[in-house]
Chain A
Amino acid sequence: MDLTFNESESAFRDELRAWIKANHPGEEPAGEDEGYAFRRDWQRQLYEAGWAAVHWPTEFGGRDATLVEAAIFNEELARARAPFPANVLGLLLAGPTLMIWGTDEQKQRYLDPIMSGEEIWCQGFSEPEAGSDLASLKSKAVRDGDDWLVTGQKVWTSGAQYSKWCMFVARTDFDAPKHKGLTYFILDMEQEGVEVRPLRQITGDPEFNELFLENARIPAANVVGGEGNGWTVALTTLMNERAGLAFGLQVGMKVALDELTEELAASGKLDDPMIADELGALHIKCEILRLTAYRGLTATMKYGQPGPEGSLTKWMWSQGNQELMQFATQALGPQSLAGGSSWGRAMLRSRGNSIEGGTTEVLKNIIAERVLGLPRKK
């Protein structure tokens, strides 16, 4: 057991830390569009310095970083309070999925613009009638010569308004069992037949969108992983989603927790033993999340692909972060829920944590069935 960074991991961290220090873009501007443009510029900066996709193989322009180095990258960004790159879904989900399932032409065509942020990607999986039961999705693709024509509706598509491409799963065979009739496509968002409508969430921000498709056209060359294989390809995306983000999220939680600790100490509230007790419990949860993520990472490095254990850290983070934000606003008092306080907004946003990227209920099912080996649910 060695919980220190080795020489090359330390060197990686030091180089990155120095680079972030010299190139930190400052505070993100207010406003959805301004913030997005700012993060896109930041990604360009990362790209030009070779930091945009450290976990990608060198042949695709990455640094072939180990999982530990990729974790360090997310930790360092969060620690420096630097923004995450704009094209996060492209970098973490679309890119790795294409590397596994894409054709050579697809890799050539799409990977570099993902890394540079020139082409933004969004994820068209969930539908109004297919959330946790993703495989029951109804968006329909029918063959039309060399193309596919897709019709349907998607929901919760973050960043759709900025996206050039969409990871799109549609049903291509209505007679096959529900997991078998799906196909994974690369959908061009800039065409007639694709309509993006902002969806206002409980924070008041339109972070997500609804997507309406009416005979949108997809060339057959844009199928990923073969016709009818969409469920398997989509699972690759989902596994990467849960495994990759844990470290950045953990540090984000740690930064918020330390800020809260300082605010409570400054106001004298930390002398209240009830407050100190709850705060201690949160620090413990946050540290356990970090340690469990590193244990999972060691296991992945020894045994291959990210496994269902990623579901555990996603659950730990969403629960911990929600408890943190709920506790913070109550401990700080009503002023944290007023006007310009970032705590109120963060608390509202945290309610989405246990829904986005797999609800806690679904994660528990995955753990029960695939880790504990319990019989399939009734």
Chain B
Amino acid sequence: MNFDFTEDQHEIKRTARELLAKRSGLEQVREAAEAEAYDESLFTELRELGWTGIAIDEQYGGAGLGVVELMILCEELGYALAASPFLANALGGLMIEHAGSDEQRAKWLPGIASGEATATVAFASGGSSEVVPDADSAAVIVLIEGDEATLVAREDAEVETVSTIDPTRRYARVSASGGEALPGDVAGALARAEVALSAEMVGIAQRTQEMAIEYAKERKQFDTPIGAFQAVSHRCAQMLFDTEGARSATYFGGWAADADQSQLALASAIAKAAASGAALSVTASSIQVHGGIGFTWEADVHWFFKRAQLDAAMLGGAGKQRAKVTSLTASSLASAGGA
């Protein structure tokens, strides 16, 4: 029992934090959001560092590490709120690697690993999906309907850019008829994608918690730092409660994906529910701690709040995950009782 990263994993986390502090500071996030365009050189740098291939098998040009390492990068990218197609590409890659055929893997994973031909994924209905992250720049799009997933090449789909409340990421409407089914374990692949997405939300919650605390230490009213008032400090303690809970659940999901897949379905549902809840509540609470300034365009906290809204709704909201937790638990109790 050792619920902590290895030295190498800590090193990945440290390196990612340092790099993103330089390359994706809040000014750069603001610049990208206001322009509604990415700084392409950021993604290029991440590609060159091999981040895009971190969890992809070596035979496809990846680094062959696990979901845990990918999760660490996603958390740090969420912490920095980096504006790039990294997450969509990673999620699409997980779908194809874990549910695709050998042929599909061979065709798409090398481009996903190098970041030269990116992927994305979204829930769809009748072959179309209203909000797909980074579909306009993707080479391949995975659409999930119920228990099935379909892979569509970009040129076979209609893709139309849409604007959402989250200008830190690009989204598009996608519709496609046809495409190829992913023949493998769609649920298992989706569970891994949920963990990676959860990790981004843990990073978002962590960052906005830190922003609130920093502000509460400095901002004075009644000649007192507002963080000394319990109405404020208890709100901050609640942020830690939510963030750390989501972190525990997400790290467990990452571990289950790499080391014990029998626990993955439940672990990923718990991670997604907890991380969605934490990202929504902590970002909202951070706006509140910032007071009037927190509601202005000039403060940075709203970028995180907006990204959290989209992330939490993607790949099924917390309600769907809670229902899944209940049904998985009830059926495992029933089979234990019947045995």
The chain A residues found within 8 Å of chain B, CB to CB, are: 1-6, 9, 68, 258, 261-262, 265, 270, 273, 276-277, 279-281, 283-285, 287-288, 291-292, 294-295, 297-299, 302, 312, 315-316, 361, 363-365, 367-369, 371-378
Which one of B11-19, B40-48, B100-108, B224-232 contacts A? Answer: B224-232
Q: Which residue of A lies closest to B246 (CB)?
A: A288
B61 adjacent to chain A (CB < 8 Å): no
Q: Point out the residue from B1, B6, B236, B333 that lies within 8 Å of A368, measured CB to CB.
A: B236
- Docked Cα-Cα span, A97 to B226, in Å, equals 37
Q: Note all chain A residues with C-beta closer than 8 A to B247.
A: 295
8 A-B residue pairings within 8 Å (CB atoms): A6-B1, A258-B333, A283-B270, A284-B274, A295-B3, A367-B240, A372-B213, A378-B230
Q: Which of B291-339 contact A (CB under 8 A)?
A: 319, 321-327, 329-330, 333-334, 337
- Docked Cα-Cα span, A280 to B327, in Å, equals 8
Interface contact A372-B236, CB-CB below 8 Å? yes
Interface contact B234-A364, CB-CB below 8 Å? yes
Give B2 Cβ to nearest chain A Cβ, in Å: 5
Interface contact B252-A368, CB-CB below 8 Å? no
Give B257 Cβ to nearest chain A Cβ, in Å: 11
Q: Which residue of B lies closest to A285 (CB)?
A: B245
Interface contact A374-B216, CB-CB below 8 Å? yes
- Docked Cα-Cα span, A374 to B219, in Å, equals 12
Known: A3-B3, A297-B3, A368-B236. A291 touches B252 (CB 8 A): yes
Q: Point out the residue from A2, A273, A279 that lies within 8 Å of B2, measured CB to CB.
A: A2
Interface of B is mostly: helix
Give B50 Cβ to nearest chain A Cβ, in Å: 21
Q: Which residue of A lies closest to B4 (CB)?
A: A298
Known: A283-B325, A299-B4, A378-B229. A4 touches B260 (CB 8 A): yes
Give A314 Cβ to nearest chain B Cβ, in Å: 11
Interface contact A276-B326, CB-CB below 8 Å? yes
User: Size band of the B side of the interface?
Assistant: 35 or more
Looking at B230, B249, B326, which has the most chain A CB atoms within 10 Å of its CB? B326
Q: Which of B34-75 contact A (CB under 8 A)?
A: 68
Q: A2-B2, A261-B333 are in contact. List 14 more A-B contacts (CB 8 A).
A: A1-B251, A3-B1, A6-B1, A265-B330, A273-B323, A276-B326, A277-B319, A291-B252, A363-B237, A365-B230, A373-B213, A374-B233, A375-B224, A375-B228
Give A250 Cβ to nearest chain B Cβ, in Å: 12
The chain B residues found within 8 Å of chain A, CB to CB, are: 1-6, 9, 68, 213, 216-217, 224-225, 227-230, 233-234, 236-238, 240-241, 244-249, 251-252, 254-255, 259-260, 266, 270, 273-274, 319, 321-327, 329-330, 333-334, 337
Give A373 Cβ to nearest chain B Cβ, in Å: 7
Give A366 Cβ to nearest chain B Cβ, in Å: 9
Query: Across chains A and B, which 4 residue pairs bring their CB atoms closest together, nearest first?
Result: A280-B322, A368-B233, A291-B248, A374-B227
Q: Note all chain A residues with C-beta closer than 8 A to B266.
A: 287
Q: Note all chain B residues with C-beta closer than 8 A to A273.
A: 323
- Docked Cα-Cα span, A261 to B241, in Å, equals 26
Interface of A is mostly: helix
Interface contact A262-B337, CB-CB below 8 Å? yes
Q: Note all chain B residues with C-beta closer than 8 A to A283.
A: 270, 325-326, 329
Known: A1-B255, A3-B1, A374-B216. A284 touches B270 (CB 8 A): yes
Q: Note all chain B residues with C-beta closer than 8 A to A374.
A: 213, 216-217, 225, 227-228, 233, 236
Interface contact A312-B241, CB-CB below 8 Å? yes
Q: Note all chain A residues with C-beta closer than 8 A to B229.
A: 377-378
Give A140 Cβ to nearest chain B Cβ, in Å: 31
Give B232 Cβ to nearest chain A Cβ, in Å: 8
Count A-B contacts at CB 8 Å.
165
Interface contact B237-A378, CB-CB below 8 Å? no
Q: Which residue of A lies closest to B273 (CB)?
A: A284
Interface contact A276-B1, CB-CB below 8 Å? no
Q: Point out the residue from B224, B249, B334 that lies within 8 Å of A291, measured CB to CB.
A: B249
- Docked Cα-Cα span, A276 to B274, in Å, equals 16
Interface contact A2-B326, CB-CB below 8 Å? no
- Docked Cα-Cα span, A299 to B333, in Å, equals 32
Give B274 Cβ to nearest chain A Cβ, in Å: 6
Give B117 Cβ to nearest chain A Cβ, in Å: 32
Give B270 Cβ to nearest chain A Cβ, in Å: 5
Known: A297-B3, A374-B233. A277 touches B244 (CB 8 A): no
Known: A291-B248, A292-B245, A365-B230. A265 touches B334 (CB 8 A): yes
Q: Note all chain B residues with C-beta closer than 8 A to A262.
A: 333, 337
Q: Note all chain B residues with C-beta closer than 8 A to A297.
A: 1, 3
Interface contact B234-A1, CB-CB below 8 Å? no
Q: Note all chain A residues with C-beta closer than 8 A to B334.
A: 265
Give B238 Cβ to nearest chain A Cβ, in Å: 8
Q: Note all chain B residues with C-beta closer than 8 A to A375.
A: 217, 224-225, 227-228
- Docked Cα-Cα span, A261 to B248, in Å, equals 24
Q: Note all chain A residues with C-beta closer than 8 A to B240.
A: 312, 367, 371-372
Q: Note all chain B residues with C-beta closer than 8 A to A367.
A: 237, 240-241
Q: Note all chain A residues with C-beta closer than 8 A to B330.
A: 261, 265, 270
Q: Note all chain B residues with C-beta closer than 8 A to A361.
A: 230, 234
- Docked Cα-Cα span, A5 to B329, in Å, equals 22
Interface contact A4-B234, CB-CB below 8 Å? no
Known: A270-B326, A375-B227. A3 touches B273 (CB 8 A): no
- Docked Cα-Cα span, A1 to B252, in Å, equals 9
Q: Note all chain B residues with C-beta closer than 8 A to A365.
A: 230, 233-234, 237
Q: Which residue of A lies closest to B9 (CB)?
A: A1
Q: Note all chain B residues with C-beta closer than 8 A to A292.
A: 244-245, 248
Give A5 Cβ to nearest chain B Cβ, in Å: 6
- Docked Cα-Cα span, A291 to B228, in Å, equals 30
